[in-house]
Structure 1
Amino acid sequence: MTTTEHNPTAVGSGQNATASFARKERQAGPVDHERAGAIIGDALAALHEVVRRHQVTYAEYDALKGWLIDVGRTGEWPLFLDVFLEHVVEQVANADRKGAVGTIEGPYYIPGAPEFAAEADVPRRADEPGTPLLFEGTVTDLDGNPLDGALVELWHADDAGYYSQFAPGIPEWNLRAQIRTGEDGHYAFRTIQPAPYQIPTDGAVGAMVATAGWHPWRPAHLHLKVTAPGRAPVTTQLYFAGGEYVADDVAQAVKPELILHPTKSDSGEGNHVTYDFPLDPAE
């Protein structure tokens, strides 16, 4: 396996996330100038109100300009937006769902992970640190019927809080895999239980967090995308009951429906969790 050569600092991680976003397929269409004008106008009006309410000084205004420049210079716009804004966009976009609950994607998704049928030993180093985890469940429709041919994509940080393709020395596709379900809709991943991690703190976003007196930690979580023919896709994260920062995630992405309750595996090695994905019909 090849290893990534990228830097895990804010600049390195931010530039990698920006490059990943630039490669992302995005919907293109005609601009609705009336809607765009309304959104931009309301956003500016909200900022104007903040200036008036807090009597923002020129020194603070200049600090803001410098900070915005630094966010762009370090490539941290995906980090900033995904941590501090995406959770609200996701809530609005998925407000009418009846099935599986979504949350933010974050900046570290990479398409095209190794694909397996029904179950997977998630690619990882021979000496991968961390507690072994068996993570399994079923993809169904809203009536509980299993879905054949659903794709379950999994990615997560390692025990040190780093993602492959975004930190140096980690094998490509480490802790990334996808499963195509069979007629029973079942999937099973054998991986390791991730640890909590800090968002990058040595760049502009970290400076903002420190200035505000906030902590920069995300709770341990598994990232997932689940898709199936004729079904609405869901992107989500799953967290571990009792874990650090579950109650005060810096990204505000935790929802009660997304909490896992691990039990000891039957083999006696590591933990076992089960989580099902009932998918809504596609619109």
Structure 2
Amino acid sequence: MSTTTHATAAGSGRNATATFARKERGTAAVDTARVDAVARDALGALHEVIRKHRLTYAEYDALKAWLIRVGADGEWPLFLDVFVEHVVEEVVNADRRGAVGTIEGPYYVPGAPEFASEGTLPMRAGEPGAPLTFQGSVTDLDGIPIEGALVELWHADDAGFYSQFAPGIPEWNLRGAIRTGADGRYTFHTIQPAPYQIPTDGATGALIASAGWHAWRPAHLHLKVSAPERLPVTTQLYFEGGEHVGDDVAQAVKPELILRPVDNRVTYDFPLDPA
């Protein structure tokens, strides 16, 4: 991790890119017909945008410079996860009947400390933020508890930064996993995160500023829930009445993903589809 004392978009972006590069991906042969179809349609759509808006050479050169900067800043995972992933997720999970998914984002890290049934996320002494107990159960679609399900939870701190992607934060801060028992239940003790801006000092922020958009994400918890012979689900959960729930820059909020805490406690269940 960087030893600098200030988080930057470029620093977070490079860490997100490095994390993505380490992910295991399939080795299936390339389907040239599918690549041809998708690439032709994508380029065709871009060509139509150019024609519709009568793009100038100055604007074309600005686009090239911006694309180069996205790569130099290491922000392709950030940009794609904020502006594109929500549509991919919508298509991929269209036929699910159980737990509702949404985007993963660029800041997931596998291998977080694991607890059985109940645990407190690792955090710094005096970690800022209101205490939150997040609990629920993992079941099949008939409501039968699933033993041995893995519930992974991670989220930003009260300043909007993620451990392993911003400097000066302990490695597993606000990251953890619970393995459910026979009752399928899990209970996490953590803090309630705050809304935050996505990094704005890099190429993604330059686009947002130039377009006059805002860069805010509502406060949210990230979850991955998996179990043998069940479809895993990746999702985010938001807080009712929270700032930017209605205008999330990543367009990832869904009505089914709204939490309604009572006395700093909230319950949310995950019915998993069969694999």
Query: Shared topology, TM-score over 0.5?
Result: yes
- 2:125 aligns with 126
SS in 2 for 1:47: helix
Deviation at 1:10, TM superposition (A): 1.0
**In the aligned structure 1, how far is the partner of 2:42 from the partner of 2:3?**
39
Letter in 1 for 2:175: R
1:139-195 deviations in whole A, cap 9, x for unaligned?
000000000000000000000000000111111100000000000000000000000
- Identity over the aligned pairs, expressed in percent? 75
Does the alignment pair 1:79 with 2:78? yes
**In the aligned structure 1, how far is the partner of 2:169 from the partner of 2:2?**
6
Does the alignment pair 1:281 with 2:263? no
SS in 2 for 1:80: helix
**In the aligned structure 2, how far is the partner of 1:146 from the partner of 1:102?**
20
- 1:204 aligns with 203
- 1:272 aligns with 265
Deviation at 1:4, TM superposition (A): 6.3
- 1:230 aligns with 229
**In the aligned structure 1, how far is the partner of 2:109 from the partner of 2:196?**
19
Change over 3 Å in CA distance of 1:276–1:165 after alignment to 2? same
- 1:108 aligns with 107
Letter in 1 for 2:217: R
Query: 1:4–1:170: 8 Å Cα contact kept in structure 2?
Result: no
Query: 1:4–1:164: 8 Å Cα contact kept in structure 2?
Result: no
**In the aligned structure 2, how far is the partner of 1:122 from the partner of 1:242?**
25
**In the aligned structure 2, how far is the partner of 1:102 from the partner of 1:248?**
18
RMSD (CA atoms): 0.9
Letter in 1 for 2:181: G
Change over 3 Å in CA distance of 1:180–1:4 after alignment to 2? farther
SS in 2 for 1:248: coil
**In the aligned structure 2, how far is the partner of 1:28 from the partner of 1:184?**
38
Deviation at 1:131, TM superposition (A): 0.2
Does the alignment pair 1:54 with 2:53? yes
SS in 1 for 2:26: coil
Deviation at 1:206, TM superposition (A): 0.1
TM-score, with length taken from structure 1: 0.96
TM-score, with length taken from structure 2: 0.98
- 1:182 aligns with 181
Query: 1:5–1:167: 8 Å Cα contact kept in structure 2?
Result: no
Deviation at 1:25, TM superposition (A): 1.0
**In the aligned structure 1, how far is the partner of 2:213 from the partner of 2:117?**
42
SS in 2 for 1:263: coil
